Amino acid sequence: MSNIPDPPRRAISLDTFAVALALVLALLVRLNLLPPIKW
Amino acid sequence: MTSIAITPVRPVTLVSRIAALFPGILLLAVVGYAGKFIEQSINAYTKAHHTPFPNIEFVLWAIVIGLLIANIVGIPRIFQPGVATYDFWLKAGIVLLGSRFLLGDVLHLGGISLFLVAIAITLSLTFMHLLGRAFKLKPKLTSLLAVGSSICGVSAIIAAKPAIEADDEDASYAIAAILALGAISLFTFPLIGHSLHLSDKAYGLWAGLAVDNTAEATAAGALYSDAAGKVAVLAKTTRNALIGFIVLGYALYWSSRGEAKAVGNKVSFLWSKFPKFVLGFLLISLLATLGFFAKPQLASLANLSRWAFLLTFAGVGLRTSLRELGKQGWRPFAVGAIGEVFIALLTLGLVYGADHYLHL
């Protein structure tokens, strides 16, 4: 049974990209750089 | 019914990797929009002709069209990388949905959810292990089925697999069983909810507590009503937030038995397993509560979230292969199915109790 000191550094997770995209979209909406989004 | 085997495509550069996603994303958009188009067309027809017909949400149409394509035609290889992004759109959609919650509501409903999740997880993990023993499943397969059905489906299984050193076969059995059961609950939960006349909040809480995968829980909530969909996402997000603690518990258990590596830094372990979109959801909710967005901007963010979910729901149908079901062993499926029924009944009881005593 070996001891793992720390998880190895990995590439940025999908979650992080999704959060980044959502925050960028929210900022664009806040700055009125996107037209009103309709459904 | 299981995840469609996606043959890895290995483009060389980042640009070509991103370009490889476009056909599949376009397919998600076409399938999702077709669902929305059918819903609107039926509504327009029934309104014009004064024909009584129940409103069937685009969610169901998108999933059914996806299922038909995946199981009759199959998904050509060129579409597969893009179709697999449905989970990415789900996470982005959940973060944007934060704009529809005031932080106070998140804390109120999230607190109730957390309390119920803690009870449900403890009881369901215990039940799943007893069931696994009764069906003579391998202990690690039982552990994977238990985390999958008690916490958050496929993500929990993927997070737990390396931590407890389960083998690939066990993980694929557990994932197949959880996906199959998720697809079944997608169609049964709204029917049961309507027959019990559950309120939007009670139903949303139930779907968020009982349906395994985040995509299916979101869809099961949205199939009931928009308000129920919101609550289902919040309850499911609370459940997802606990994934790290449960996986850590299992990793410590299996390492104490000498059947998995010891965990080093526990804080770092917890952070690596923590779903980061939960933080994004809370941040957007906080900004909305502080009045950072004007009312029309909040409406835009809510609609962006709906578009992201439209891609997700198309992906739920497209990634489900009914043909694969027969190839899986019946015992993992049986354990998962019995466990799911137990969890559904348990959480329904908890929701009734919460509705009565905690005033949802």
Which residues of chain A are within 8 Å of residue B284 when distances are taken between CB atoms?
Answer: 22-23, 26
Give pLDDT, residue A28.
97
Provide the pLDDT confidence category of residue B72 given band limits of 50, 70 and 90.
very high
Provide the pLDDT confidence category of residue B357 given band limits of 50, 70 and 90.
confident
pLDDT top residue among B192 and B50: B192
Structural class in CATH, domain B11-357: mainly alpha
Joined tokens for residue B335: 């354990």
Task: List phi, psi (to 5°) of B181.
Answer: -70, -35
Joined tokens for residue B142: 């039982």
H or E, element range at B321: strand B320-321
Provide the pLDDT confidence category of residue A11 given band limits of 50, 70 and 90.
low
DSSP-derived letter for residue B258 is T
Give pLDDT, residue B334.
81
What are B's interface residues with A at a Cβ cutoff of 8 A?
A: 87-93, 95-96, 99, 255, 258, 261-265, 268-269, 272, 275-277, 279-280, 283-284, 287, 292-293, 296-297, 299-301, 303-304, 306-307
Among the residue ranges B40-49, B106-115, B227-236, B251-260, the one predicted with the least confidence is B251-260
Give pLDDT, residue B140.
83
Read off the pLDDT of residues B16-62 as tens digits, 9 standing for 90 and up.
888 999 999 999 999 999 999 999 999 899 888 887 777 778 888 99
> Chain A: residue nearest B266 by CA?
A6
Closest CA to B200 of B234, B233, B219, B225: B225
Q: Which amino acid is at B135?
A: F
- Inter-chain CB proximity A29 and B297 less than 8 Å: yes
Give pLDDT, residue B3.
47
Give pLDDT, residue A7.
46
- Inter-chain CB proximity B300 and A34 less than 8 Å: yes
Chain B: nearest CA to A1, how far in angstroms?
6
Q: Which amino acid is at B128?
A: M
Task: Give the Cα separation of B80 and B180 in Å (integer).
Answer: 20
CB of B54 closer than 8 Å to CB of B287 = no
Provide the pLDDT confidence category of residue B11 given band limits of 50, 70 and 90.
low
pLDDT above 90 (res B139): no
The pTM assigned to this predicted structure is 0.82
Provide the pLDDT confidence category of residue A6 given band limits of 50, 70 and 90.
very low
Chain B: nearest CA to A20, how far in angstroms?
8
User: How does DSSP assign B164-181, residue by residue?
Assistant: HT--HHHHHHHHHHHHHH
Q: Smallest Cβ distance to B284: which of A3, A5, A26?
A: A26
Task: Give the Cα separation of B296 and B99 in Å (integer).
Answer: 12
- The domain segmentation of chain B, as residue ranges, is 11-357
> Chain A: residue nearest B279 by CA?
A19
pLDDT above 50 (res B180): yes
- Inter-chain CB proximity A25 and B96 less than 8 Å: yes
Kindly indicate whether the ipTM for this predicted assembly is greater than 0.90, answering yes or no.
no
pLDDT above 70 (res B346): yes
